[in-house]
Amino acid sequence: MTPPERGGARALKLVIGFAISAALVWYAFRNTPFADVWAPIKAAHVVTMIVAVFFATLPFVLRVPRWQLLLHRDDGTTIPRRSLWQAISIGFAANNVLPFRAGEVLRVAAISRLAPVSFAAALSSVAVERVLDALVVVTLLGIGLVGGQLPASNGMASKAELIGLVCLAAMAAAIIAAWRRELALRLLERVLPAGRITTHLLAFVDNVLRGLGAMRDPRRAAPIILWSVVIWVVNASAFYIAFMAFDFHLPFTAALILQGALMIGIAVPSTPGYVMVFETAIYGVLLLYGIDKDHGLAYGLLYHVATFIPITVMGALNAVNTGTRIRVPAESP
């Protein structure tokens, strides 16, 4: 988790986010009439798209058993899955409607009250989740790029394989560094030039590696890593099923690449709900596979809107049932 931002920095970040989203909307539709995008949306297979939405929503539920393994009450007892689900749904719903990824803090606050569990322990578990998610998604992205079956005509196939190998090598390095944290930090300190940027970078890397240090026990780590892989493979399956809804004949590796690109894309400042950043990442990847912009943008818009609704509605209902207020917390992660 990052330290809280001051009000001015948060306001500036929000303004930049809206500006980026507005610019992407203009860029996407400047030479593309909405009617050309609406036509593929109307032609999409409804039942197949519903199945895709189900698979896109399922990972939120699959996060419950993983979080139950990562987080316990102060006395060591297990937290009920119902409380974990309520906090997860509230948090992700808030991320869809609030700026600054405030849903992460709201999820921590919710489980601290519902479980109950200490705020610090809940915050630490969410930080570990973030690191695990990033590692698994980048690993799957690397696998997708190495075997992505990109058309040779666009000249990206060999470059994609190289990037994929770099991703896989980076993940292997991260795992090794987690096991030998102090050695890894000493090596970085020797390689990087002295200065404030290096000091902050080393502190960031140290926090990440400390989070991964919780995974050193193989008996504890194995089920947590397995659940992480299941979560993101199921999530990628949603993209793949949606391909079929639009009659895109693409391999599953394309879904892995799309998922990885999307995770990187939504890290860019944008409006709440990642307006148009989400769609741009999607149609950008689909262009690599020869899918024209109209159909790629249609896919991105329909997928975004359709998958946005279930978790937002379920989170709002759980917020009402538990008395949790969905608002921007005083401090954001």
Residue 332 has pLDDT above 50, yes or no: no
- Does residue 24 belong to any structural domain of this protein? yes
Whether residue 313 lies inside any domain: the answer is: yes
Residue 331 falls inside a structural domain: no
Q: Residues 113-132: what's their mean pLDDT?
A: 86
pLDDT digits (tens, 9 = 90+) for 40-60: 999 999 999 999 999 999 999
Lowest model confidence (mean pLDDT) among 4-13, 218-227, 262-271? 4-13
Q: Please write the tens of the pLDDT for every residue from 156-204.
A: 656 666 776 777 777 677 667 666 777 777 877 777 787 777 787 777 6
Q: What are the residues facing 72 on neighbouring strands? A: 78
Confidence of residue 152 (pLDDT cuts 50, 70, 90): low
| Rounded Cα gap, residues 129 and 135, in angstroms | 10
Q: Is residue 1 part of a domain?
A: no
For residue 151, being part of any structural domain is answered with yes
Predicted confidence (pLDDT) at residue 17 exceeds the cutoff of 90 = no
The rounded Cα 99 to chain-centroid distance in angstroms is 15
Task: Please answer whether residues 250 and 299 qualify as being in contact, where contact means their C-beta atoms are separated by less than 8 angstroms.
Answer: no
Taking the CB of residue 80, how many other CB atoms lie within 10 A of it?
A: 13
User: Tens of pLDDT along 273-286?
Assistant: 888 889 999 999 99
**How buried is 156 (Cβ within 10 angstroms: 0-12 exposed, 13-18 middle, 19+ buried)?**
middle
Highest mean predicted confidence (pLDDT) among 28-37, 57-66, 221-230: 57-66
Asked whether residue 327 is domain-assigned, the answer is no
* CA separation for the pair 130, 156 (Å, rounded): 29
pTM, two decimals, is 0.85
Please, which pLDDT band fits residue 82 given cuts at 50, 70 and 90?
very high
Average pLDDT over all residues of the chain? 84
pLDDT of 330 higher than 50: yes
Report pLDDT for 151.
67
Inside any domain, residue 302: yes
The answer to whether residue 217 is domain-embedded is yes
Report pLDDT digits (tens) over 225-248.
Answer: 899 999 999 999 999 999 999 999
Residue 333: is its pLDDT beyond 50?
no
Rg of the chain on CA atoms, in Å: 20
User: How does residue 256 score in pLDDT terms, banded at 50, 70 and 90?
Assistant: very high
Query: Greater confidence, 139 or 56?
Result: 56
> What is the domain extent for residue 127?
9-322
In terms of residues, how long is the chain?
Answer: 333
Determine the pLDDT at residue 184: 77
55-59, 207-211, 309-313: lowest mean pLDDT where? 207-211
CA distance 35 to 294: 9
Task: Report the number of distinct structural domains present in the chain.
Answer: 1
pLDDT of 2 > 60? The answer is no
| Share of residues in the chain with pLDDT > 90 (%) | 41
User: How far is residue 228's CA from residue 236's CA, in Å, rounded to a whole number?
Assistant: 12
